[in-house]
Amino acid sequence: MHFLNQPPRYLFFTGKGGVGKTSIACATAVQLASEGKRVLLVSTDPASNVGQVFGESIGNHITAIPAVPNLWALEIDPQEAAQAYRDRIVGPVRGVLPETVVKGIEEQLSGACTTEIAAFDEFTALLIDSTLTADYEHIIFDTAPTGHTIRLLQLPGAWSGFLEEGKGDASCLGPLAGLEKQRTQYKAAVDALADPQRTRLILVARAQRATLREVARTHEELAAIGLSQQYLVVNGVLPASEAAHDELAAAIHQREQAALTAMPDVLKALPRDQIDLKPFNLVGLDALRHLLVATNSRSATSSIELPSQLDAPSLSSLVDDIAVDGHGLVMLMGKGGVGKTTLAAAVAVELAHQGLPVHLTTSDPAAHLSETLEGSLSNLTVSRIDPHEETERYRKHVLDTKGAQLDAEGRALLEEDLRSPCTEEIAVFQAFSRIIREAGKKFVVMDTAPTGHTLLLLDATGAYHREVTRQMGNTGLHYTTPMMQLQDPKQTKVLIVTLAETTPVLEAANLQSDLRRAGIEPWAWIVNNSVAAARPDSLLLRQRAFNELREIDSVATHHAKRFAVVPLLKNEPVGVDRLRDLAHHITEEA
């Protein structure tokens, strides 16, 4: 493995949820420890299962792994860290400021930026406190801070003053006001990250076009702030040997190879490793020791028993229930890479096929769905919102208004705050809001919706909902704000999209909690790209399908009020016919 050649002291693994960061970080720790190196493995992943992987209870204290000499582990729970962080900031003003103001502060501190900054606050000592880590030759971090967080920590001081003077409605600067350590300590930590002699970043991806595009953006963002020592690991690639035994496997292999061939040039220039898809669950030492070495995929267990047909509703059954209302807003939500855009198109096509008027609107950068669907059904219209254009328009408006009177330092703070992921969500949602009004007369299917945190932030920033409520409260007139429409299950149905894997399901559950905090109750879950629903013949894929069954059961019994499972298809689901096959659970060519 290239990324293990002469490794520096710090190794950071970063990438989207579900790509295998934790497994690769654990396997790396085991390998270095087996070479006699003293290793500390640190996880700041919200979906961390390091303890489960090793069969040990770890938690927020350094714990020896008895089965692996020379290996210790530490799990920083970012949710706990973020809660403690919020308590430090909100505690002194609770009971002093009005409750509405306190709730506003709490919401400002409830986003992903707070969680990440709080986690960084926790592991800063591991980067700079030589007495704490002197015993370890290598420190491996499962999940690295984003470029956005690092840039925030590099900004000029006066975070608290910036907020107290009312210079910005901060989505990310708010958390910075609660940092207790000296700025010099953060500078030392960031310097350690940027030193290639001390730190190596390993970008973990899957062989999928969207995932590779995303990791290319991460690479450029981190390289731009000096974190240049980067390696790429493409995980979970289906071995060519499987393609000869199964049409589905052959199609997956071809798709993955095409994605690797077309990967962005900035990634092609990086040292790259490729790890084959394994038939086994990556839990336990034996599995970890085999992850980074080539294995014979034909050794997959041949006695896997799968149900002849997955006992789960199809997407079309959900759409039938949606269609009963005759109109309304349908929002598809989920983490990147789970297939929201394709499923939004499938829902729109299925509704339109029933003779209902439908407007499909997407902010997905890939326009191929628009090209495929445009004019293909007489009662289906498609629009595409350019996230980059909308975000730039929003940033310019904020800088021209709130930023007009700021000094150079204040403007720098505001500009960085506007690089927050929340900014794009707010800008795109404002563009979507112009279309939402149509949902009173037709179906509006919306791809790529904002999180509950962003909706609350948007609501608090504009105070639109509360101002309308105040003005209309005593008039007796009927009124509806966008937030009220999203909270009304008769007007809006939210579909959460996930994959049948541990981390994506946990991330979807966190998203559901986020939405519920905003008063929005998800209507259904969709488990996408299910191998189990595709009834594979490949031994390796059958093992993967078997592993999915537990996650699908978890969705059905613990998370979702109603759900559907969508199979992994041989061919990309582009075009009306294939989208309808996907909705109806059809896995074979017609």
Whether 568 and 423 share a structural domain: yes
Domain co-membership, 326 together with 211: no
Same domain, 319 and 269: no
Q: Exposure string (b/e) for 473-506, b if CB count within 10 Å is 16 or more? A: eeeeeeeebbbebbbeeebbbbbbbbbbbbbbbb
43 forms beta bridges with 75, 142
The DSSP output letter for 97 is B
Length of the chain: 590
Q: Name the amino acid, one letter, at 342.
A: T
Chain position carrying tokens 């087996």: 34
* Residue 346: predicted pLDDT: 92
What is the reported pLDDT for 57?
A: 82
Considering the domain architecture, whether residues 483 and 567 belong to the same structural domain is answered as yes
Half-sphere exposure of 81 (CA within 13 A, CB side): 25
Q: Among all chains, which residue has been given the structure tokens 């002197």?
A: 134
Write down the pLDDT at residue 198: 92
Q: How many CB atoms lie within 10 A of CB 528?
A: 25
Query: CA 164 to CA 89: how far, in whole Å?
Result: 13
Other CB atoms within a 10 A radius of the CB of residue 403 amount to: 19
| 308 part of a folded domain | no
- 299: in domain: no
End-to-end, the C-alpha distance of the chain in Å comes to 43
Q: How far is CA 138 from the centre of its chain?
A: 28
Joined tokens for residue 334: 């989920």
DSSP bridge partners of 235: 206
Whole-number pLDDT of residue 465: 43
Q: What are the catalytic residues?
A: 18, 20-23, 45, 503
Give yes or no: residues 14 and 123 share one domain. Answer: yes
Is residue 307 assigned to a domain? no
| Final residue in a domain of this structure, among 246, 261, 294 | 294
Asked if 534 and 506 touch (Cβ cutoff 8 Å), the reply is no
Same-domain check for residues 284 and 347: no
Shared-domain flag, residues 271 and 325: no
pTM of the model: 0.81
Neighbour tally for 589: CB within 10 Å: 10
Regarding whether 192 and 116 lie in a shared domain, the answer is yes
CATH number of residue 125's parent domain = 3.40.50.300
CA distance to 14, 146, 270, per residue, from 222 (Å) = 11, 7, 14
pLDDT of residue 479: 40
What confidence score (pLDDT) does residue 209 get? 86
Give pLDDT tens digits for 360-379. Answer: 998 865 545 555 565 567 78
- What is the model's pLDDT at position 244? 83
Total of domains in the chain = 2
In a domain, 300, yes or no: no
Residue ranges making up the domain that contains 385? 315-583
Q: Say if residue 348 is in the same domain as residue 289.
A: no
Encoded tokens for 243: 């393609």
CA distances for 369 relative to 191, 477, 583, angstroms: 44, 41, 16
User: What are the per-10-residue average pLDDT scores of the chain (590 residues)?
Assistant: 93 85 92 95 75 79 91 86 83 83 75 78 83 91 79 61 50 61 78 90 91 89 87 94 88 94 95 89 76 65 71 92 94 85 91 93 65 66 87 87 80 78 78 84 86 64 43 44 78 94 86 87 96 89 91 96 93 79 66
* 49 and 191 together in one domain: yes
Phi, psi of 428, deg, nearest 5: -65, -40
Q: How many CB atoms lie within 10 A of CB 521?
A: 14
What are φ and ψ of residue 320, in 5° steps?
-60, -40
Looking at the structure, do residues 287 and 334 belong to the same domain, yes or no? Answer: no
